[in-house]
Amino acid sequence: MHSSPKQPVLRIALALPLRQLFDYLPGSATVARPGMRVLVPFGRRKMVGVIVEVADKSELPLEKLAGVIAYPDGEQLVLSDETLELLRWCWRYYKHGPGEVVFNALPPLLRKAQGVIPPSPVQYALTAAGEMRLQAPPGRIKAQYRLLEEMRAGAATDSQLRAVASSWRKTLARLLEQAWVQTEMQQPAQLSPDPGPVLLDEQQFAVTAISASLGNFHCHLLDGVTGSGKTEVYLCVLEQVLRQGGQALLLVPEIGLTPQLVSRFHKRLGFEPVVTHSGLSEGQRLAAWAMAKSGLARLVIGTRSALFLPMPDLQLIILDEEHDASFKQQDGFRYSSRDVAVKRAAGLGVPVVLGTATPSLETFNNAVADRYRWHRLRQRATGAAEPRWRVLDLCQQSTQGGISSTAMEAIGETLGKGEQVLVFLNRRGYAPVILCHECGWHAACQRCDANLTWHKASNRLLCHHCDSGMRVPVMCPECNADALQGAGEGTEQLEQMLTRAYPDTPLLRFDRDTVRKKGEFDRLSQQVKAGESCLLVGTQMLAKGHHFPKVTLVVIVNLDQALYSADFRALERMGQLMVQVAGRAGRDQLPGEVILQTHYPRHEALLTLLQSGYEAFAADLSADRQAACLPPFTYQALLRSDAHNKDDVRAFLHQAKQIFPAGEAMVYGPFPAMMERRSGRTRWYLLAQADTRPLLHRQLDGWVPHLKKLPAARKVRWSVDVDPQDY
Ligand code: ADP
Ligand code: ZN
Ligand code: ZN
């Protein structure tokens, strides 16, 4: 008998919506390591995969396992051990298939077989011989000489040389041949910071505390009112990290990543941060990924998905506007980038800073419980006063296009002083519904439980949930009367009404209908910043992070829906939105005023927010949540399911409920989703809830793996949503 050397078994993640890894043999590779990409046969296809584990056995007989066809990147890794560890935690915690979790972390081009890791960027420097040659006159090698001159002051990159001559590659090859020039690895950009303002005490305390925690895991809540100088705090801590040669990651909400923000960091730090988000081309995203991986990117600013970038020297993670809903991915692999950022920082042993003027209740209570260090910035850094609130009771006011006469007067007065007014309404379109005054017919989406929004300018009725739409009928489709009218108002209507009232004042509308194209937002906001008197009308797009110094009046047209919503998070979100919108008023020298129009001026939560501020508001909401056994005092997961047929959905969820393991976590439902029908599919869910995370997860782990075997599982789509944000 002779023994053959033992074959390693590769456990590979494939981009399939399945909760499993796949076993393969290494094929021709000498060393197969976790984190390497592979090309493997799958059925009749070839698929890209990533090695997640190297095991010494398989549950399948070895002769049944196929071999890896190719290693597209050779021995280079696309995922470091650190990232793999984080991803492993992610798929266990979020109960999602490992393949989708792993592929979510790769730049789109590397999810495909054609994509390859770009070579490390290089630069070219003079050798001693090259220096000598430069001493002599150019003679007949004028083109070569020009390139040498370009390197006189220091090494030059591809793009610098390309600027000298378009045929630079050929010329450079000669220089390399002669050994006048050598190739080196590119060096990270040098830090050359501009001095910032002298910090206020509150800022300085925060900077000192965060800096003292560099090198260790600590979670910091930077709780600062808008304009209190949170960004300055980030900059000061970043400067220290960069001085030590570390890398840093700044995550911002989708809507917050503006050229102004990036140029502010550029200006202050003296080098260009690497930027990444889903609006970039695949090539640009791969380039950003490679810069991060090579360590050349000292600072990366990105949206949610940047969280998984490989950064070998990562020493600080900052999440700006931590309460923002865009940090939670709402489909597929539903993760919270805030929570995963904290997990990543813990794994690395580095601090994470969560910045906001309106902490989520989760973060707020982590700070209350001393799990997070809490830094309050309560003063506006420019010395501007907090805006003054004025509440208008809509029950006692006549309105025109949604705006009360008192608010109209205030708008007129402010414009008369040459200042700017922001009118906020979180609803685009002309009217949220169109109805017949004869028979009561109203336009509803055929595929969703929603009304169609009337867009008057484009003469269409549109569903904001599934994008289906139709032309506006001239007569009532039901009774044929000429009696169709809009009910309620949206930003398009406000624009029309205000333009009529103030024909000489420029009006800029900010919503998804007017700001479709890239760069449009910046064009509009530049105009606002120019400072001339104008009216801004917009949705929550206007609420975040923008500094419009000349806005002195903010009118909040209506937020009443949130006051009596069935969603227990509605009040929290309303408070955050109100504070964010109000923060646009009077940020500079001029004092600001905020007018809130409401039918419920005596609503308790509203009064607390206005009289005592967000912290008291958050404390009150927390007490209510605790009394009602709701998050963040309990832990939840949803089993969501949808299908064209409602019976299938309910059958599946009933079957799932029956096999929920016994224990302290309870399962409730099935319940219809808040919007039961969407895009033609019926949506229901089960709610699992427990007092602690471990209790919940123990039962989820004993449950989720069995769901696919349920008889009704094949007829529905289903997914697990841990720590859900919507229902
Ligand atoms: P936040 O991020 O909290 O909204 P910023 O960092 O953008 O606040 O600061 C608001 C404004 O105040 C900016 O124009 C900034 O340059 C200025 N600022 C910040 N800190 C100071 C300070 N210590 N002294 C003077 N101005 C400051
Ligand atoms: Zn009718
Ligand atoms: Zn629809």
CA of 386 to the centre of ligand 1 (A): 14
- φ, ψ of residue 274 to 5 degrees: the values are -85, 135
pLDDT of residue 7: 79
CA 709, CA 727: separation in Å to the nearest integer? 25
Which ligand has an atom closest to residue 358 CA?
1
Q: What is the mean pLDDT of residues 263-282?
A: 92
- Looking at the chain, the whole-number percentage of residues with pLDDT higher than 90 is 77
Q: What is the mean pLDDT of residues 668-697?
A: 96
Q: What is the mean pLDDT of residues 79-99?
A: 97
User: Residue with structure tokens 């991060």?
Assistant: 292
pLDDT tens for each residue of 615-657: 999 999 999 999 999 999 999 999 999 999 999 999 999 999 9
Which of 382, 544, 584 should be mutated for ligand 1, with most atoms under 8 A from CB? Answer: 382
* Band of pLDDT at residue 1, cut at 50, 70 and 90: very low
3-state SS, residue 72? coil
Residues in contact with 515: Cβ distance below 8 Å, sequence separation at least 6, in sequence order:
521, 524, 541
CA of 461 to the centre of ligand 3 (A): 11
CA of 197 to the centre of ligand 1 (A): 8
CA of 587 to the centre of ligand 1 (A): 10
3-state SS, residue 711? helix
Which of 223, 232, 354 should be mutated for ligand 1, with most atoms under 8 A from CB? Answer: 232
CA 430, CA 453: separation in Å to the nearest integer? 7
Q: Can you name the residues that pair with 114 across neighbouring β-strands?
A: none
3-state SS, residue 386? coil
For residue 199, the ligand 1 atom closest to its alpha carbon is: 23
For residue 583, the ligand 1 atom closest to its alpha carbon is: 4
CA of 235 to the centre of ligand 1 (A): 11
For residue 224, the ligand 1 atom closest to its alpha carbon is: 3
β-strands 507-510, 403-404 pairing: unpaired
- Strands of the 219-224 sheet, one edge to the other: 274-276, 299-302, 247-251, 314-320, 352-356, 219-224, 373-377
pLDDT at 5 over 70: no
Which ligand has an atom closest to residue 194 CA?
1
Residue with the nearest Cα to atom 4 of ligand 1? 227
- φ/ψ region of 229 (left if φ > 0, alpha if ψ in -120 to 50, else beta) reads left
Residues in contact with 706: Cβ distance below 8 Å, sequence separation at least 6, in sequence order:
659
CA 366, CA 624: separation in Å to the nearest integer? 17
CA of 485 to the centre of ligand 3 (A): 20
Residues with CB under 6 A from ligand 1: 197-200, 203, 224, 226-232, 381-382
CA of 448 to the centre of ligand 2 (A): 21
Residues in contact with 140: Cβ distance below 8 Å, sequence separation at least 6, in sequence order:
none
pLDDT at 257 over 80: no
Cα–Cα–Cα angle for 598, 599, 601, rounded to 5 degrees = 70
Structure tokens at 250: 């700044």
pLDDT tens for each residue of 648-664: 999 999 999 999 999 99
CA 366, CA 91: separation in Å to the nearest integer? 24
Residues in contact with 619: Cβ distance below 8 Å, sequence separation at least 6, in sequence order:
364, 368
Residue with the nearest Cα to atom 19 of ligand 1? 229
Residue with the nearest Cα to atom 10 of ligand 1? 227
CA of 482 to the centre of ligand 3 (A): 25
CA 265, CA 681: separation in Å to the nearest integer? 45
Residue with the nearest Cα to atom 15 of ligand 1? 229
CA of 229 to the centre of ligand 1 (A): 4
Which ligand has an atom closest to residue 446 CA?
3
CA 490, CA 402: separation in Å to the nearest integer? 9
For residue 198, the ligand 1 atom closest to its alpha carbon is: 23
Which ligand has an atom closest to residue 441 CA?
2
Residue with the nearest Cα to atom 5 of ligand 1? 229
Residue with the nearest Cα to atom 6 of ligand 1? 229
pLDDT of residue 2: 45
Alpha carbon distances (Å) from 3 to 6, 7, 58, 65, 590: 8, 11, 18, 20, 84
CA of 679 to the centre of ligand 3 (A): 5
Q: What is the mean pLDDT of residues 508-528?
A: 81
Sign of CA dihedral 588, 584, 255, 227: positive
Q: Which residue has the higher pLDDT, 591 or 511?
A: 511
Residue with the nearest Cα to atom 9 of ligand 1? 229
Which H or E element spans position 676? strand 666-678
For residue 232, the ligand 1 atom closest to its alpha carbon is: 6
Task: For residue 286, give the nearest of 122, 119, 161, 123 by alpha carbon.
Answer: 119
Residues in contact with 511: Cβ distance below 8 Å, sequence separation at least 6, in sequence order:
428, 491, 538, 539, 541
pLDDT tens for each residue of 197-232: 999 999 999 999 999 999 999 999 999 998 899 999
* Contact assessment for residue 14 and residue 99, using Cβ atoms and an 8 Å cutoff: yes
| Residue 33: DSSP 8-state | -
For residue 357, the ligand 1 atom closest to its alpha carbon is: 3
* Contact assessment for residue 599 and residue 395, using Cβ atoms and an 8 Å cutoff: yes
Task: For residue 186, give the nearest of 121, 248, 237, 234 by alpha carbon.
Answer: 121
Which ligand has an atom closest to residue 437 CA?
2
* Contact assessment for residue 64 and residue 15, using Cβ atoms and an 8 Å cutoff: no
Structure tokens at 674: 């808040």
Query: Between the ranges 347-356, 513-522, 550-559, where is the mean pLDDT highest?
Result: 347-356
- φ/ψ region of 401 (left if φ > 0, alpha if ψ in -120 to 50, else beta) reads left
Residues in contact with 612: Cβ distance below 8 Å, sequence separation at least 6, in sequence order:
none
| Residue 189: DSSP 8-state | P
* Band of pLDDT at residue 545, cut at 50, 70 and 90: low
3-state SS, residue 85? helix
What does the mean pLDDT of the chain come to?
Answer: 92
pLDDT of residue 4: 47
For residue 235, the ligand 1 atom closest to its alpha carbon is: 6
Which H or E element spans position 98? helix 98-104
CA 458, CA 441: separation in Å to the nearest integer? 22
Q: What is the mean pLDDT of residues 129-136?
A: 92
Residue with the nearest Cα to atom 8 of ligand 1? 229
CA 394, CA 442: separation in Å to the nearest integer? 25
pLDDT of residue 529: 79
Task: For residue 279, give the nearest of 639, 491, 521 by alpha carbon.
Answer: 521
3-state SS, residue 479? coil
CA of 478 to the centre of ligand 2 (A): 5
Residue with the nearest Cα to atom 21 of ligand 1? 381
- φ, ψ of residue 536 to 5 degrees: the values are -115, 130
pLDDT of residue 185: 84
Choice among 126-135, 420-429, 584-593 with the minimum mean pLDDT: 584-593
CA of 450 to the centre of ligand 2 (A): 19
For residue 200, the ligand 1 atom closest to its alpha carbon is: 23
CA of 272 to the centre of ligand 1 (A): 20
3-state SS, residue 395? helix
Which ligand has an atom closest to residue 484 CA?
2
- Strands of the 717-722 sheet, one edge to the other: 666-678, 681-690, 635-643, 717-722
Which ligand has an atom closest to residue 231 CA?
1
Task: For residue 422, give the nearest of 559, 522, 534 by alpha carbon.
Answer: 534
Task: For residue 392, give the nearest of 551, 558, 539 by alpha carbon.
Answer: 558
pLDDT of residue 518: 65
Structure tokens at 443: 């336009």
3-state SS, residue 247? strand
CA 701, CA 19: separation in Å to the nearest integer? 12
What distance lies between CA 313 and its chain's CA centroid?
23
CA 335, CA 93: separation in Å to the nearest integer? 9
3-state SS, residue 631? coil
For residue 234, the ligand 1 atom closest to its alpha carbon is: 6
* Contact assessment for residue 625 and residue 706, using Cβ atoms and an 8 Å cutoff: no
Which of 200, 222, 225, 231 should be mutated for ligand 1, with most atoms under 8 A from CB? Answer: 231
pLDDT of residue 3: 41
For residue 545, the ligand 1 atom closest to its alpha carbon is: 4
- φ, ψ of residue 461 to 5 degrees: the values are -105, 125
Residue with the nearest Cα to atom 11 of ligand 1? 227
CA of 683 to the centre of ligand 3 (A): 14
CA 238, CA 663: separation in Å to the nearest integer? 46
* Band of pLDDT at residue 396, cut at 50, 70 and 90: confident
CA 78, CA 696: separation in Å to the nearest integer? 33
Q: What is the mean pLDDT of residues 395-414?
A: 92
pLDDT of residue 587: 64
CA of 469 to the centre of ligand 1 (A): 44
Q: Where are the beta strands (DSSP E) in 557-604?
A: 593-598
Which ligand has an atom closest to residue 549 CA?
1
Residue with the nearest Cα to atom 24 of ligand 1? 197
CA of 620 to the centre of ligand 3 (A): 36
* Contact assessment for residue 301 and residue 275, using Cβ atoms and an 8 Å cutoff: yes
Q: What is the pTM of this model?
A: 0.91
Secondary structure in 3-state letters for 204-226: HHHHHHHHHCCCCCCEEEEEECC
Which ligand has an atom closest to residue 481 CA?
2
Percent of the chain as helix, strand, coil, to the nearest 5: 35, 25, 40
